[in-house]
Structure 1
């Protein structure tokens, strides 16, 4: 690169050219020189940009109301990817030091207004609870450093061009807008899914696929269509916290089967099946939540054999499969859709707001699931389903998924090392996916446990997910589920270091 930076080009975000965009500025040139100096040291570019902008704001060089260069202009000036700049700006917005104004660009935020906004909007609870996780993390996650959340950074989703697909989907003929659509969902997406899923499940008819408002809705239809109040069901422990709540809402009895770094405890599964005579088991074969591990092929075969012996429905939550390697074990593929009912969706790879999922159903239960779907909410959104179909049909989407998998792998390795330096050990080394569960050694106590640490973190604008959220009985724990795509933030690591001394963790 040249030693002297060129002037930034006019910003394309607004008709009025920003002063920053029309002439050289010391802070931008300082940032560029810093990037050149630190690249050799391996410091993450996003972190460098965030810290440099924060430093210039703190020093007063960037004052409240100052407009920053557009994403494209700053990326060109620094010679880096627009995605890197977008992610840095998103993080600065999350810190409330920069404000994003729709159609006008990014501006330095007034800290007085930011403090007032934080006090007014976050509404700090007296304690971190299950209700808080369910009702508030999703709504407030964009206001917080969401280190325990269930979505990727916003800038990562921007790479799949979902917005273009959504614009195309809204141009459907008027007769489609004037109808509710097919009870099973948009035929084009079901046909696309039948073709894609046949590679691991064998021949599938589009009429075996029921489209839903995401995987949670898919699980709801299965619970209501196949199970009855009072039924015992097996779940993984630790496991998906919202599934536990769903099951209890319907009067079912969830019974935990331990899942560890070695996989499912199949001996305990056998004992529990004999003792409780469950009707079903809910399992995540690939990218388990919260451990991000994948069942071995040997375990998958043994689980199916146990399901056959005890006449269990096996509900396979496949939401994380696209974040794993394409040839990971599939219970539905091994079973041939005899007693396995797989569910899936696109919130992890296309966009969280798309709210499109699916059930691949054995032929004998399609009618029951469709009847529940129509009774409880009628049809699903054909516009969203058409948008999902367009994204899946685009060859670029597979390349996008490969990039996401690569970025998650790299982030996971860095987070494991960073947490290890602080004294947090992983419960299991993840095979794939976005999560890492890790914590301090030693017992939890009433004065030193993950939930207390999470409460202290929330006071500093950091949302953690304590390990007890993922357990049925919720005993005190000393571990957390981290989202590796969000967990590299220096604020998180600095807080965790302080928590060691504040709570005396890791000394048992």
Structure 2
């Protein structure tokens, strides 16, 4: 009997060898669910086996549920992906990451793509009924001034409301100390324009919100990362970074840190502020997730009294 069509040199049958090859490609993500398998003729040629061997292998895989047959169309990978084993991943390749590309991808990607670290909430979580009601109320107002220019700091009644809300977080601030922007990102951008020059060093957490890197790159700042722990930045390494790089800014999240979810501890906060005071460092506290806390976390702005800390909140 022809060995080419019945038995491989390793002891298993050629049919089993073809099946193993397909399973490996599915496990390695070379064949994803719904992907079309090579034609019987093409696969037989590439594997150097007979077409009948491939036919039998495909039929047996279809019986197992690993692939599916579509009459007149061919065979397709079926089911969910096999669990990815980290042991099968190749060696780590250190390479530069383009933060601007990541930002563009997060905006252009479809709804079916996960966007870890973006911090965007599902539309179903939004109080859409309340927002519609508020917009209708504004539209019906007699003294509506949507087409007029606003004041430089923003709508006074809204700043008064924000001052009262911030007092609930222990941050004593007057409406005159609050500036309204279109987003938290714009607020950080304005601070970078005002406080740093190209070539200045800015500290960020490692890991941190990816858009911080994109913003700082746009301002041609030198970015230095400090490892973030469950209680805040690693204070010893933070002090080393201050001494070595003399940064102008430190951008961080104190409550519900993005992307780790960690919360700054009071001890770390006090040590951090002491270091900032000694080195004349300005801290930008990005606090956009405050409304999702189960219990209030320490705020650098509350401990500092807004001397070296700029506090940013957001509804966007």
User: Is contact 2:228-2:234 (8 Å) kept?
Assistant: yes
CA shift digits 1:449-485 (9 cap, x unpaired): xxxxxxxxxxxxxxxxxxxxxxxxxxxxxxxxxxxxx
Task: Name the CA distance, whole Å, in 2 between partners of 1:198 and 1:308.
Answer: 23
Secondary structure of the structure 1 residue equivalent to 2:126 = helix
Pairwise CA distance, 1:216? 0.2
Report how many residues are paired: 219
Partner of 2:257: 288
Task: Name the CA distance, whole Å, in 1 between partners of 2:279 and 2:129.
Answer: 43
User: Is contact 1:319-1:344 (8 Å) kept?
Assistant: yes
Partner of 2:268: 299
Unaligned runs of 5+ in 1: 1-127, 348-508
Match of 1:208 among 177, 181, 195: 177
Match of 2:294 among 308, 322, 325: 325
TM-score by length of 1: 0.41
Q: 1:249 to 1:130 in 2, by over 3 A?
A: closer
Task: Name the CA distance, whole Å, in 2 between partners of 1:295 and 1:180.
Answer: 39
Task: Name the CA distance, whole Å, in 2 between partners of 1:215 and 1:188.
Answer: 20
Task: Name the CA distance, whole Å, in 1 between partners of 2:262 and 2:110.
Answer: 25
Identify which range, 145-154 or 303-312, moves more after superposition. 145-154
Task: Name the CA distance, whole Å, in 1 between partners of 2:128 and 2:296.
Answer: 24
Partner of 2:148: 179
Q: What pairs with 1:182-331 in structure 2 (closer than 5 Å)? A: 182-331=151-300
Q: What pairs with 1:396-475 in structure 2 (closer than 5 Å)? A: none
Partner of 1:168: 137
Q: 1:338 to 1:130 in 2, by over 3 A?
A: closer
Structure having the larger proportion of residues in helix: 1
Q: Does 1:133 align with 2:106?
A: no
Task: Name the CA distance, whole Å, in 1 between partners of 2:122 and 2:312.
Answer: 24
Q: 1:172 to 1:251 in 2, by over 3 A?
A: farther
Task: Name the CA distance, whole Å, in 2 between partners of 1:175 and 1:147.
Answer: 38
Secondary structure of the structure 1 residue equivalent to 2:119 = coil
User: Is contact 2:203-2:225 (8 Å) kept?
Assistant: yes
Q: 1:131 to 1:316 in 2, by over 3 A?
A: closer
CA shift digits 1:120-163 (9 cap, x unpaired): xxxxxxxx975553123324343x14352532222121466222
Pairwise CA distance, 1:170? 2.9
Q: 1:130 to 1:275 in 2, by over 3 A?
A: closer
* RCO higher in structure (CA 8 A, sep ≥6): 1
Task: Name the CA distance, whole Å, in 1 between partners of 2:146 and 2:205.
Answer: 41
Pairwise CA distance, 1:271? 0.7
Task: Name the CA distance, whole Å, in 2 between partners of 1:318 and 1:147.
Answer: 20
CA shift digits 1:95-120 (9 cap, x unpaired): xxxxxxxxxxxxxxxxxxxxxxxxxx
Partner of 1:345: 314
Match of 1:157 among 116, 126, 129: 126
Task: Name the CA distance, whole Å, in 2 between partners of 1:316 and 1:232.
Answer: 17
Q: 1:145 to 1:264 in 2, by over 3 A?
A: same
Partner of 1:95: none
Pairwise CA distance, 1:206? 0.8
CA shift digits 1:272-313 (9 cap, x unpaired): 101111112111101111101111111111110110111100
